[in-house]
């Protein structure tokens, strides 16, 4: 019975994030989605909005919870008795970044194991930053993010 933490900015959540959560929830007893609140980072959607999106999107899945965290994610995992830190990987570039991060996290919390889950091929091009850019230019993002997010992106980038 292992619980996993799935941390991220989720600014905003995409179908790629949801695919990882949906697959992980059939493997782990519980999945704790952790919306990162990093004071150094500039987000389009504030923490409350990102949490609200996520809560709505994972509502059909009883073993998935949504939290926020402004500490080290390893600290959060420890406090919530989660053994696994889950990260999605789209590409070799993602992997090299995630691999280094996993080594850092292992140094801070040796009892927490990072698991990598490769993206589904349908979602490997989905990246929150690129989706925001597309939305800012009025592009159609409805195939990349859930309807609630697409609507919020439209509102965030009204076209004159
Ligand atoms: P962070 O700022 O922590 O990278 P993101 O919201 O960008 O936050 O991503 C959270 C997690 O979801 C990361 O592990 C990332 O690699 C993964 N992820 C993002 N997009 C996808 C996707 N399309 N397919 C699979 N995993 C993804």
Nearest atom, ligand 1, residue 128 CA: 7
Q: 50 CB less than 6 Å from ligand 1?
A: no
Report the pLDDT value the prediction gives residue 49, as an integer from 0 to 100: 97
Residue entry with tokens 């007893």: 29
- Res. 160 pLDDT band, cuts 50 70 90: very low
Give the residue, out of 13, 17, 114, 118, with the most ligand 1 atoms within 8 A of its beta carbon, to mutate for a pocket test. Answer: 17
Q: Is 119 in the pocket of ligand 1 (CB under 6 A)?
A: yes
Q: What is the mean pLDDT of residues 148-154?
A: 96
pTM, full prediction: 0.95
In order of 51, 97, 124, 142, 146, the CA distances from 57 in angstroms are 10, 27, 20, 15, 8
Q: Alpha helices of 25-119 — where are they, by DSSP H?
A: 47-58, 73-79, 92-108
Catalytic residue check, 17? yes
78 is catalytic: no
Q: Does the pLDDT of residue 9 top 60, yes or no?
A: yes
């Amino acid at each position: 019975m292992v619980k996993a933490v799935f941390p991220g900015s989720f600014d905003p959540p995409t179908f790629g994030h949801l695919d990882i959560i949906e697959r992980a929830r059939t493997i782990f007893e519980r999945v704790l989605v952790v919306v990162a609140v990093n004071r150094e980072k500039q987000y389009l959607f504030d923490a409350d909005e990102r949490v609200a999106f996520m809560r709505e999107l994972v509502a059909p899945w009883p073993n998935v919870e949504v939290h926020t965290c402004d500490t080290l994610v390893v600290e959060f995992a420890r406090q919530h008795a989660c053994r696994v830190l889950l990260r999605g990987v789209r590409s070799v570039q993602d992997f090299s970044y995630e691999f280094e991060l996993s080594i850092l996290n292992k140094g801070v919390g040796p009892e927490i194991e990072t698991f990598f889950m490769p993206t589904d091929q349908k979602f490997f091009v989905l990246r929150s930053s690129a989706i925001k850019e597309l939305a800012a230019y009025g592009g159609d993002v409805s195939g990349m993010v859930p309807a609630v997010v697409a609507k919020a992106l439209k509102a965030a980038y009204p076209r004159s």
